[in-house]
Amino acid sequence: MLFVSIALSANFYSESVLEMLRSIPQLSWVPEIPPKFSQHSLIQLKSRLLPLSHLFAHTTAKTLLSAETPDSFSWLELKPECMAVIEQGDCGSCWAFSSSGAFSDNRCIHGLDGSKVIYSAQFMVSCDTMNDGCIGGNMILAQQFIKKTGLVTEKCLSYKSMNNVTGKCPQACDDGSAFVLTKSVGFADVCANEESIKAALLQGTVQTGFTVYEDFLYYKSGVYTHQYGLIVGGHGVAMVGYGEENGVKFWQVRNSWGTDFGENGFFKIARGVNECGIENQCMLTQVE
């Protein structure tokens, strides 16, 4: 037990693993030891993720969408002002950031708030009693919370769980003013197939989740495909587009680890092959 404890608390990153990844022929992505995580232990990195049991614990019927879709599409290119990248810190709140983020994105894309309004992930972390705060959450339950309860804005309730503390559900905004809640109209699991996801992305960003293996923690750029390592946990993110790079089809995805991880806070992952389960469940948040 002592050996396991020491291993988990030791620095996760290894130059030998980095060199092994770099030596893989025709690797479609560029690995690095991310400067922001270079001294992190596996325990610290796991704190940002979900137990896999949370990720796909609930299911709902698939919605098959169809549309004439272009070869490539990106909300980051079309509506960069709507694509905010947040830092979740050492809290397993990715479920809250991916769901509140997609809600914020889609209200911005559809022009419902005038200018970009970020809705509060902290409100979900502390107040969504069907989920487990910094321990983790489920995207369907999170979407149900936004539909039934609604969200306050980040300006009302700022993020406070960076250090893995869920916190009690507050009764008012940070400045003492009353909550004003904004709800979604509904949501749909659009992961019926690749074309359905592409069609959904024409309407807005799409919340999804995937299995994180050790090698993803070395990601810098390019189209990620799993090559090495054990499962570290599950992770909630938001698809913002799709395309093809050097002959490899990809989904463009926003992370919640700040702009200093991956491609300025985004990453690309192989499309059409359910890479790491990224096409298992995809929630389109309906805002009007």
First to last CA, the chain: 53
Q: Does 91 qualify as catalytic in the annotation?
A: no
In terms of Cα–Cα distance, which of 17, 30, 27, 26 is closest to 221? 30
Please say whether the beta carbons of 122 and 159 come within 8 A. yes
C-alpha distances in Å from residue 179, one per residue of 157, 169, 229? 9, 12, 45
Q: Annotated catalytic residue: which of 131, 255, 276, 282?
A: 255
Q: Annotated catalytic residue: which of 106, 235, 276, 282?
A: 235
Please say whether the beta carbons of 104 and 123 come within 8 A. no
Q: Does 280 qualify as catalytic in the annotation?
A: no
Query: Are β-strands 282-286 and 186-189 bridged in parallel, bridged antiparallel, or unpaired?
Result: antiparallel
Please say whether the beta carbons of 212 and 231 come within 8 A. yes
In which element (H, E) is residue 63 found?
Answer: none
Q: Annotated catalytic residue: which of 91, 94, 134, 282?
A: 94
Q: Does 235 qualify as catalytic in the annotation?
A: yes
Query: In whole angstroms, what is the distance from residue 288 CA to residue 110 CA?
Result: 8
Query: Would you please indicate which residues are annotated as catalytic (active-site) residues?
Result: 94, 235, 255
